[in-house]
Amino acid sequence: MTVLKDWIEGFQASIQYIEQNLPEKLDIGEIAKKAALSPFYYQRIFSALCGMTVGEYIRARRMTLAAQELSCSDCKIIDIAMKYGYDSPDSFAKAFQHFHGITPSQAREAGANLRSFAPLHIKITLEGGNMLDYKIVEKAPFTVVGIKKRFNAETSYKEVPKFWSEWASDMKGLKGMFGVCSDMDGKTFDYRIADLYLPWQDIPSGCETYQIPGGLWAIFRCVGALPDSMQKVNTQIWSEWLPALQGYTLAGNYSLEFYLPPDENPAETVSYICIPLKKL
């Protein structure tokens, strides 16, 4: 339980850091550092635990505090807008109305209905009954070949499936064995739809090679129709398995998805999520 306790405390420290610096320009690298995680992994875990992105949480908290200041102070709207990271009254008013349903000026009226989003408190309860099939193996380096696109970490869950749909209409000579995340800087990352590279074969037009480092991998088996089966296991990995992990830590700036050919019965389709690890 010590590992889990330390993990939760580190993650909570990152939330406290956000709260203490909401009027400042927040850097995802500094936030993630409080939890001793890389920016990319921090954002994946945050989304799995909290049901929203880090950016969405920060915006919700800023809008909550901005409304409180509008309702109880005489500060100019432009000053409050700039305090919480908006460089124009129009952009602030648009975000404010989207969150609260009223304009900043209306928020100053007596009896105005405002929304409040409370600070998060991380509390993880691990319960039995959830089966998660995985194995930890060592793999030699290998090379993939595929098409690449850069994604914003906050919108990737919606945009990556669109990338797969675009690929399906023009497969560019690929089977789509892998989904490869790499070069994760916390805000953006590269995603490749790829196959195993075979040196004696030509590289399809528009594709490039990428080497996957050798090392330890945690490989999680997903069974069921895509993308639901993979998303379910992914949530379990980041919200249940990782907090209880002992003897290993996350490694590398990349991760993999591995797809077998679809089964005739979608409920029997098998795919895998692969996370790089290193021993403590």
pLDDT-derived band of residue 19, with 50, 70 and 90 as boundaries? very high
Model confidence pTM above 0.85? no
Q: Please state the rounded mean pLDDT for residues 195-199.
A: 91
Domain with 199, as residue range(s), is 134-279
What CA–CA distance (Å, rounded) separates 270 from 87? 48
Tell me which of 19 and 111 has the higher pLDDT.
19
Considering the domain architecture, whether residues 187 and 257 belong to the same structural domain is answered as yes
pLDDT-derived band of residue 17, with 50, 70 and 90 as boundaries? very high
Q: Is the distance from CB of 240 to CB of 152 less than 8 angstroms?
A: no
Considering the domain architecture, whether residues 102 and 149 belong to the same structural domain is answered as no
Does the pLDDT value for residue 212 go beyond 60?
A: yes
- Taking only the tens place, the pLDDT of each residue in 220-265 is 999 888 878 888 888 888 877 887 777 888 887 888 999 988 777 7
From the centroid of its chain, how far is CA 174?
26
Considering the domain architecture, whether residues 17 and 103 belong to the same structural domain is answered as yes
Considering the domain architecture, whether residues 7 and 85 belong to the same structural domain is answered as yes
The answer to whether residue 113 sits within a structural domain is: no
- Taking only the tens place, the pLDDT of each residue in 47-70 is 877 878 888 899 999 998 988 888
Number of domains in the chain: 2
DSSP 8-state secondary structure symbol assigned to residue 56: H
Task: Say what the pLDDT of residue 131 is.
Answer: 64
CATH number of the domain that residue 94 is part of: 1.10.10.60
Task: Say what the pLDDT of residue 126 is.
Answer: 54
What CA–CA distance (Å, rounded) separates 233 from 40? 18
The answer to whether residue 121 sits within a structural domain is: no
Q: Which residues are CB-neighbours of 125 under 8 A, at least 6 positions away?
A: none
Q: Which residue has the tokens 């949480």?
A: 57
Cα separations in angstroms, 280 against 135, 213, 217, 262, 277: 17, 19, 14, 37, 9
Q: Which residue has the tokens 């906050």?
A: 154
The answer to whether residue 98 sits within a structural domain is: yes
What CA–CA distance (Å, rounded) separates 185 from 182? 9
